[in-house]
């Protein structure tokens, strides 16, 4: 990698790590479009650049999750029994989601990403939060909920917060606990999804050097290095600030990036 590329990836990692810690959302919504743009500019195969971007973005959550959840745990905000209950379903859903994503065309994967991110952004922009109308379900219900969270998260390359935070809030988990618990859930999502994308891309020809399955290791290492530094800073800041105005700005950015992914997807068709 040249120095300009390294600097770009470090900046991307630092930004997404801070946002992940601050807002309790995965950085995949930002990493995927920017990695797609970088891969396209470097002439990587159009039919695989979205797959690589999603897989690599998901793998970075392994590092940002560990980094940010440590700070949330120090504040006593993580509901660890909830994490343990959801993890088995999450692992299965994430592996299956990665396998299906690996078989989709770049167009369909880009469309799914754009639709999901746009919906999540609109929810943030309108500040619509689910009313806490129920309690968390028993083990069977938690397994199914984990399946859904893991499946969708691995398909679009996010850490699951766009799904798990509303679900937990709907189930009478306080919002600070929901954000912190979602950060902890990012690790099993990323771990299972990473394995899934390695398996899904293991026999794909034409991928660039340094790619294992669909995961680009140089990009992963560079982004992760920066994100683990800034994620705890974001998590600490989240306990001191009113993040609602920042959420709206972030939502507008996501809508713009979703539009770019649609453009990229149709260009690859």
Which pLDDT tens digits describe the chain residue by residue (269 residues)?
688 888 989 999 898 888 877 776 667 788 999 999 988 888 888 888 999 999 999 998 888 777 777 777 877 888 999 999 999 999 999 999 999 999 999 899 999 999 988 988 887 787 766 666 678 888 899 999 999 999 999 999 887 777 888 888 888 888 778 888 888 898 899 999 999 999 999 888 888 888 999 999 999 999 989 888 887 787 778 767 776 777 777 788 888 989 999 988 888 76
Give me Rg for the CA atoms of the chain. 17
What pLDDT, on a 0 to 100 scale, did the predictor assign at position 18? Answer: 84
What pLDDT, on a 0 to 100 scale, did the predictor assign at position 83? Answer: 93
What pLDDT, on a 0 to 100 scale, did the predictor assign at position 24? Answer: 63
Backbone φ, ψ for residue 199 (5° rounding): -70, -40
What pLDDT, on a 0 to 100 scale, did the predictor assign at position 243? Answer: 65
What pLDDT, on a 0 to 100 scale, did the predictor assign at position 269? Answer: 67
Q: Hey, CA dihedral for 199, 184, 158, 19, is it positive or negative? A: negative
What pLDDT, on a 0 to 100 scale, did the predictor assign at position 265? Answer: 84
Burial 227-243 (b: 16+ CB within 10 A, else e): bbebbbbbbbbbeeeeb
Q: Which residues contact 18 (CB under 8 A, 6 or more apart)?
A: 230, 231, 233, 234, 237
């Amino acid at each position: 990698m040249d120095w300009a590329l390294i600097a770009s990836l470090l900046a991307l990692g630092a930004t997404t790590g801070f946002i992940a810690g601050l807002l309790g959302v995965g950085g995949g919504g930002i990493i995927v479009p920017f990695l797609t743009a970088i891969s396209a500019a470097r002439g990587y195969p159009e039919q695989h650049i979205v797959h690589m971007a999603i897989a690599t973005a998901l793998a970075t959550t392994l590092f940002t999750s560990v980094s940010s959840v440590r700070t949330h745990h120090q504040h006593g905000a993580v509901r660890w029994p909830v994490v343990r209950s959801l993890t088995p379903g999450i692992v299965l859903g994430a592996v299956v989601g990665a396998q299906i994503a690996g078989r989709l065309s770049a167009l369909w994967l880009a469309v799914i990403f754009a639709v999901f991110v746009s919906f999540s952004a609109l929810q943030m922009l309108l500040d619509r939060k689910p009313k806490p109308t129920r309690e968390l379900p028993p083990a069977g219900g938690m397994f199914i909920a984990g399946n859904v969270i893991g499946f969708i998260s691995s398909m679009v390359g996010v850490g699951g917060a766009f799904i798990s935070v509303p679900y937990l809030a709907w189930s009478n988990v306080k919002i600070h606990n929901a954000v912190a618990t979602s950060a902890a859930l990012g690790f099993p999502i990323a771990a299972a999804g990473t394995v899934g994308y390695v398996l899904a891309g293991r026999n794909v020809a034409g991928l660039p050097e340094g790619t294992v399955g669909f995961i680009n290791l140089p990009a992963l290492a560079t982004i992760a290095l920066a994100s683990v530094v800034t994620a705890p800073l974001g998590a600490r800041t989240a306990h001191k600030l009113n993040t609602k105005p920042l959420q709206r700005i972030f939502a507008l950015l996501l809508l713009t990036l979703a539009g770019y992914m649609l453009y990229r997807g149709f260009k690859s068709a």
